[in-house]
Amino acid sequence: MTHYSRDHLTELWADPVNWRSGFVCPDSGQLWIMDFPHAELQAGGPGRLRVVSDAEWADESPAWLHLMKLVYALVASGNSVAGRGFTPNQGGWDCEMTAGLDLELLAPLIARDGHDIRSSR
């Protein structure tokens, strides 16, 4: 991890299988990927931190990319990602947030994808 990524960017995901991590700039929303592209060198060589387009982000991101818009919305509303972002579990993926989920904020985003969420209120 570079000083810039550690001090300025928010890590959203880490893919230990493919040695990649995804970051977002909290000020601009710009997407970044850190990877280790030199497989012939020990530990993949020096890390490469690069700005990526939405298309590059989609091509290089893990399977849970479709959940990112929900994380973006939560972060934009003042919540923040806790720990290392998305982590695998037995049923899929978890992304721990520092505050509770705002279902009123998330419901329209989820419904737009053809899903229905019903709280147990």
Whether 50 maps to a domain, the answer reads: yes
Residue 83, Ramachandran bin (φ over 0: left; ψ between -120 and 50: alpha; else beta): left
What is the pLDDT at residue 42?
A: 72
Whether 121 maps to a domain, the answer reads: no
Q: pTM of the predicted model, to two decimals?
A: 0.54
Whether 14 maps to a domain, the answer reads: yes
Phi, psi of 55 (to 5 degrees): -65, -45
Whether 120 maps to a domain, the answer reads: no
Q: How many domains does the chain have?
A: 1
Structure confidence by residue, pLDDT tens digits, 34-51: 998 876 777 667 889 999
More confident: 6 or 8 = 8
For residue 23, give both structure tokens: 């970051």
